[in-house]
Amino acid sequence: MLVLVAPGQGAQTPGFLTPWLELPGAEDRLRAWSAAIDLDLVHYGTDADADEIRDTAVAQPLLVAASLLSARQLFPTTEDVARDVGVTGGHSVGELAATALAGVVSDEVALSLVRARGMAMAEAAAITETGMAALLGGDPDTTLAHLDKLGLTPANVNGAGQIVAAGTREQLAALEADKPEGVRRVVALKVAGAFHTHHMAPAVEKLDTAARSVSVADPVVPYVSNRDGRTVSTGSGIVTGLVGQVANPVRWDLCMETFKERGVTALIELCPGGTLTGIAKRALPGVKTLALKKPEDLDAARALIAEHSSTAE
């Protein structure tokens, strides 16, 4: 059983889309999406520096566009996804890409929603200086209690020994100076706010307004929500969850539990892959994983699909 996942914010690096635009039709597709959402995705994916693509209003549409651009090389249509993919999901903003791949909205609608999401979250992040940091290692219960003591929110519970804390810069500085027992490292993330916390509450209403204007369909493949790791069977339920998730923690650990329960045998992470496959290697032993980093990875992905799709013999 094949799982298809899309990465979240922080996975972007300068120039990461440059080789992808050499594929037939890729640049034209990206330019069309750029025009539709009034954001130069080609520039940000090829020439922009790290600070430019760290901007939440840029990073979020860029990441969803990258995931969809790479996905359409493997699954040109919704029918292709339905034929080969057993489950889909995304980490944080990656949920918008997964929503399109599940057939709930079109690629263009997903990009319009993520454009609204990114701008709303950037505005919310500007109210107070906040950020996020990944904690590696340690006992989860001990770590969560320590974060609570410091006033930090466990914004991402990723599993495999990784929790991401979010809060004010002062709170994060206190965490760096006083790590929870057993935590090996505290790594600041390349994001511009305390996402999936109460600091993002102002963005929820704006995204809800944008979401009310779009048409949705029910998913053609099981879609796993960040909220609680459960599958959501209606398009309206998925979009409602996307809105509320902006200010609530990502439970990627529970998503992986669902993948396991449904019998996952292989997992492909869309461009710019690496983070989620790294977690899966630790949390889902025995599952074959592949991260789409460059177009050269597509042939290996096609071979994995042929071996693990629902139609494979």
**If you count DSSP H runs as helices and E runs as strands, how many of each does the chain have, helices first?**
14, 10
Point out the catalytic residue in the list 91, 196, 199, 308. Answer: 196
Instruction: Establish whether 199 is a catalytic residue.
Output: no
- Taking the mean position of all CA atoms in its chain, how far away is CA 192? 16
Work out the angle at residue 289's Cα, subtended by the Cα atoms of residues 28 and 259, and round it to the nearest 5 degrees. Answer: 100
Contacts of 289 (CB under 8 A, 6+ apart): 266, 267, 268, 269, 277, 280, 281
Point out the catalytic residue in the list 34, 67, 70, 92. Answer: 92
Residue whose entry in the numeric block shows the structure tokens 């492909």 = 268
CA–CA dist 149, 132 (Å, integer):
16
186 in Cβ contact with 152 (< 8 Å): no
Phi, psi of 131 (to 5 degrees): -170, -170
CA–CA dist 57, 154 (Å, integer):
23
Instruction: Establish whether 196 is a catalytic residue.
Output: yes
CA–CA dist 54, 270 (Å, integer):
19
Q: Which amino acid is residue 272, in one-letter code?
A: P
CA–CA dist 270, 274 (Å, integer):
9
Q: Residue 4: left (phi > 0), alpha (psi -120 to 50), or beta? A: beta
The closest of 194, 180, 160 to 275, measured between CA atoms, is 160
Residues linked to residue 185 through DSSP beta bridges, in sequence order? 136
Contacts of 109 (CB under 8 A, 6+ apart): 100, 214, 215
Catalytic residues: 92, 196
